[in-house]
Structures are given as C-alpha cells and as structure tokens.
Amino acid sequence: MIQSFQLFALILIIPLPILSYLWFRYYNIIITEGKKYVGEKYTEEEILLLPSSSKKVKISGKTVIIVNGVNAWITIRVNGGPKQKVFKIRLLNSSGELELINESKVFQLKVILRRSA
C-alpha cells in the first residue's frame, strides 16, 4: 500500500519542475517579443499608479503596456470605451486617450508604456 502511494506521489511530482521551467521560459519570451512590437524607435514612460487611482495618457499608433508589481492586473479604457482587464502585457494599435486604472485597494503598480516614435 505504501509503495503504491509513493509511486503515485512520484508520478504527480516529477512533471511539476518541468512544467514550471517551460512556463517561465515561454512567459519570458512573450514579454521580450511583446516589447519589440513598437519597433526600434520608441519612447518609454514609467507611470506609478497608487492604489485605487487612475491616469489618462494620450496615445497614437502602436503601444505596449507592461504591468509590474505585486498584483500584475490593471484595467484599461481606450477612448472612453468599455473597461478591459490586462495581465502583465497588452499590445495596442490605436489613437486617442488611454485610461490606466489600478483597482487594487492595497498595492501600487508600475506601468511601462512603450510607444512608437
């Protein structure tokens, strides 16, 4: 009985490090390639959003939104449209006004906006 349980536990535990390694590897590739979306000529702006605050910025053309912080979720609104939840990275290709909303009541967020020049 104990040997079958040990075998079962081993079968469940062995894939965990492999899947974790693959997740972090491909996650890093997605963020790196997303940063290249705007091209080689770009402007970068860092915005610190305090808890329960928002900020409006003007955008035109290709824009990458990268969220850093304890809570990697942010809410955006493009040109007064519906709210959209973003996890870590979002690629946009639009012009107008972008509203960044930190809905967290506790954690602040650092948002990096990379815009094509």
Side chain identity, residue 24:
F
Query: DSSP string of 63-113?
Result: EEEEEESSS-EEEEEETT---EEEESEEEEE--EEEEEEE--SS--EEEEE
When pLDDT is averaged across residues 32-54 and rounded to a whole number, the result is 95
Tokens 């491909």: give the residue. 26
- Model pLDDT for residues 57-113, shown as the tens digit of each residue: 999 999 999 999 888 999 999 999 999 999 999 999 999 999 999 999 999 999 999
Report percent pLDDT > 90 for the chain: 74
